[in-house]
Amino acid sequence: MTREEWEYLCASVKDHMVAHLQQFLTPISMSEEAGSGVAWGSGGYLEANEGTWLITASHVFSDAPSGARLAHLPVPGDDYVAITDPPELAKWPVDAAAERIAPIPASSNTKAVPKDLLSDCYSAVDGELLFWVGFPGYKLERHDPILPDRRRSTLFGELPTLGLPMLSQALQGEDPQHAAFDRDQHVAIHYPSAAKRAPEEPATALPHPKGMSGSLLWNTRFVEATSAGLEWSPASANVCGVIWAALDSPEVVLATKIEFVRKGLTRVFA
């Protein structure tokens, strides 16, 4: 297979994943006063333990200023819904959190991930295509320094958010140097400075990853299926982790493998 053919395959997988999985996602906002807010994190909805849950990274909650209120967006284009109850926070270094929420309105295009799409463990084959959609919190590029005035914030009563779909692969070889990284519990996924939106386009700068913590990581199972001579469908993808950090060198994001998320969030996975 040529590089061009591989790029077109990857673009097709990304487009199919976006169309199939965007219904399960939500940005998370943070507000310190009524009527205004900022982009704060990313999350996903999950059907589990006879209820609907918002899943994100634990530091999305713990890093919020005292007295601030977080909210999620079950109906795109509508108002954010405040998170009022204490979340369940998994112990470090799992860095995952869950909040039981009211059922998503039936009229919404947003849905909760069915529990059968949640993998029992991280089982991506070597070279597999991994996918996530994050909501970058700043109007900055990958390695720009954080500038408070570049944060996405409420403007004219609305909080604009950018859902960034990413198709990538796990880092191979030497582990990234991060105090909490444990290859048994975590996986590092390439998140470079620039990438192509489509095969025929030049690479463009990727946004700063801050704000993408809490994104659900999906094992597309594309390489697994095609290597076995099977037809692939995005419906065969499963949730395999939760993203919680980004590093500059190597250029990766870090995710906790789903089996440790399950173990850490006992209220959800009882």
Give the CATH fold of the 3-264 domain: Thrombin, subunit H (2.40.10)
pLDDT tens digit sequence for 24-45: 999 999 999 888 899 999 999 9
Question: Residue 262 pLDDT more than 80?
Answer: yes
pLDDT, residue 179, reads 87
Answering whether pTM is above 0.85, one says: yes
pLDDT tens digit sequence for 159-218: 988 899 999 999 999 899 888 899 999 999 999 999 999 898 999 999 999 999 999 999
pLDDT, residue 155, reads 80
pLDDT tens digit sequence for 127-139: 999 999 999 999 9
Annotated domain spans of the chain: 3-264
88 bridge partner residues: 98
pLDDT, residue 157, reads 77
d(CA 7, CA 29): 34
d(CA 56, CA 83): 12
Burial label for 245, CB within 10 Å (0-12, 13-18, 19+), is buried
d(CA 82, CA 30): 9
Higher pLDDT, 24 or 270: 24
